[in-house]
Amino acid sequence: MIEDVIDKSPRIETERLVLRKWESRDLEGLVEMNADPKVMEFFPAVMSRPDSERMFERLLLKQEKFGFGTPVVEERATGRFLGLCGLGVPTYPEPLPFDPCVEIGWRLIPDAWGRGVAQEAARIWLRFGFETLQLNEVVSFTSRINWRSEKVMLRLGMLRDASGDFDHPLIEDGHPLKPHVLYRLSKDQFREQEHG
């Protein structure tokens, strides 16, 4: 499936966004975003600079290995770092119950919220995933209490797979963020949406 994909994260520009690979200049934006309590509300904690630096290294490694790694979202007019959104391959120490998979995910600075940025960028990457990468399915998941992300999944036409809901392996037992919901979108479902 994904093993054959090399360098498959093109630079895509829309009227207001630039979607592109990670570059060294993006580290500071990632550090700032991950230290924001509003952004990290549905994560166990804000991330320290060393944690964000490790995340940055992982993103670069995934980009090299898979051809994509949840790419950067940049404001086209200003070049401002807005966050990340796109396809990624989860690589946790423990496999997820539905591995192997390709995930669509996003994390944006608060100034980008409520403007349809996540939905716009995610739609572009879903189209790319199904049409160019020929994926059969894309998943998305979040903590059960993260209603903001779940609303984006619904707007993208993703369907909840309640039978696939799971406890996140990296979150401690009893933590309110441990239970996660799973959404799926197949290539056929995406085509139906696109062609009405």
Element (DSSP H or E) covering residue 119: helix 117-127
d(CA 116, CA 125): 14
Q: Give the whole-angstrom CA distance, residue 127 versus residue 122.
A: 9
Please determine, looking at this structure, whether the domain spanning 2-195 carries the CATH number 3.20.20.10.
no
Sorted by where each begins, the domain ranges of the chain are: 2-195
Strand partners, 159: 184
* Cα 85 from Cα 9, distance rounded (Å): 12
List the pLDDT tens digit at each of the 196 positions of the chain.
444 444 567 899 999 999 999 999 999 999 999 999 999 999 999 999 999 999 999 999 988 888 877 999 999 999 999 999 999 989 888 889 999 999 999 999 999 999 999 999 999 999 999 998 899 999 999 999 999 999 999 999 999 999 999 999 989 999 999 999 999 999 999 999 887 6
- pTM, entire model: 0.91
Long-range contacts from 43-51, C-beta under 8 angstroms, 24+ separation: 43/177, 44/171, 44/175, 44/177
Task: Identify which of 75, 131, 71, 139 has the alpha carbon closest to the alpha carbon of residue 104.
Answer: 139
Query: To 10 degrees, what angle do helices 27-34 and 49-66 make?
Result: 130
What is the C-alpha end-to-end distance of the chain, expressed in Å?
A: 28
